[in-house]
Amino acid sequence: MRHLISLDDLTDADLASIVARGAGFSAGTITPAGPLTGTVAGIYFRRTSTRTRTAFSSGALRLGAQIVAYSGDDLQTNTGETSEDTGRIFSRMLDVLVARTAGDPAEMRAWAAQDRMSVINAMSADEHPTQGLTDLTTLQRHFGRIAGLRVLYVGEGNNTAAALALGLTRFPGTELLLRTPPGYGLPAGVRARAEALAARYGSRIDERHDMEDLPGGVDAVYTSRWQTTGTRKPDPGWRRVFAPFQVTGALWEHSPAAVFLHDLPAHRGEEVTAEVLDGPHSIAFDQAENKLHSAMAVLEWCRVGIVDGPGDLGGAR
């Protein structure tokens, strides 16, 4: 029984195995054989979700589990029961809990302080680890490797960007080049952790707050919507600050072979133009489908452990 609250919780072997397993599910080279038969998964989302909730619900069913779904209004926390007591009850009736709180991950850490039920973070305020695993699975599936890839991320340094930074930097030779609006970059703690990982694994992370001198020859351009689920911007003029960071076709002038990634939902005409999202470079909807395959790999890992995989990150030290 294992928990996934942050990508920091994964060993190199765990990370490599989950990504390889998800890519195998995506490619159809691995067929699920019901490893979760006889288990019950709770799907608890306080915030809206299309892809992640559907991916984990469908994934649990495909692996043989039964599911119990909750919204933010379904539980007795609305009548005063503590989160701690709710977690204790969950652990006595569920085998795995997939939770989106969009709040402090400490709450999920508290739920994970037992040895009966796995806890999976389906998005907290600081990190979206299952999105990060989906992104790595998508890169592995498309390029056949992750080591050595160069990714340009344009947009807010939100929980999706945090997970990407904490995941991609663990693969040797990778470069994560972030262009984030002034005042909306990666949190200092996340950046420090990612820089430490880059130094350890021989990768690179670089963040700037302008759109000048964009790098060429990148393998992927990634953006995320400007309004992250469950958050509000303190500056009423934030759209003016974000406007220069829209992803347009001009970004492909110096990277003509790059693919386009987006964690979705997308707002055409805001963070990305329709020309890019619906164009030939976009694999955003393949990326969305890979949420299912990655979710299956995470669920399997939590309850069964490493089933197969390369055991390393492509030469990581």
What's the CA gap between 265 and 52, in Å, rounded?
Answer: 11
- 307 pLDDT higher than 80: no
pTM of the model: 0.95
Helices (H), 150-283: 159-168, 188-201, 238-242, 274-277
Distance CA 213, CA 139 (A): 25
Mean pLDDT of 206-213: 98
Question: What is the rounded average pLDDT of the residues 176-189?
Answer: 97
Helix axes 51-62, 284-303, angle to 10 degrees: 50
Ramachandran assignment for 277, one of left (phi > 0), alpha (psi -120 to 50 degrees), beta (any other): alpha
What is the pLDDT, as a whole number, of residue 317? 35
The 10s digit of each residue's pLDDT in 67-84 is 999 988 888 888 889 999
Which of these ranges, 98-102, 119-123, 257-261, has the smallest mean pLDDT?
98-102
Percent of the chain surpassing pLDDT 70: 96
* Residue 164 pLDDT > 70: yes
- pLDDT of 211-255, one tens digit each? 999 999 999 999 999 987 666 788 889 999 999 999 999 999 999
pLDDT digits (tens, 9 = 90+) for 131-155: 999 999 999 999 999 999 999 999 9
Query: Which residues contact residue 126 at a Cβ distance below 8 angstroms, ignoring those fewer than 6 apart?
Result: 104, 105, 159, 162, 187, 190
Which residue from 248, 281, 227, 312 is spatially nearest to 10, judged by alpha carbons?
312
Mean local confidence (pLDDT), 2-27? 97
What is the model's pLDDT at position 310?
56
Radius of gyration, alpha carbons of the chain: 19
- Cβ-contact 279, 259 below 8 angstroms: no
Nearest-10 Cα torsion for 209, 213, 218, 222: 30
Confidence check: pLDDT of 189 > 70: yes
Q: Whose structure tokens read 């958050």?
A: 231
* Distance from C-alpha of 280 to C-alpha of 247, rounded to nearest angstrom: 15
Domains of the chain with CATH codes: 7-127+291-303 (3.40.50.1370), 129-287 (3.40.50.1370)
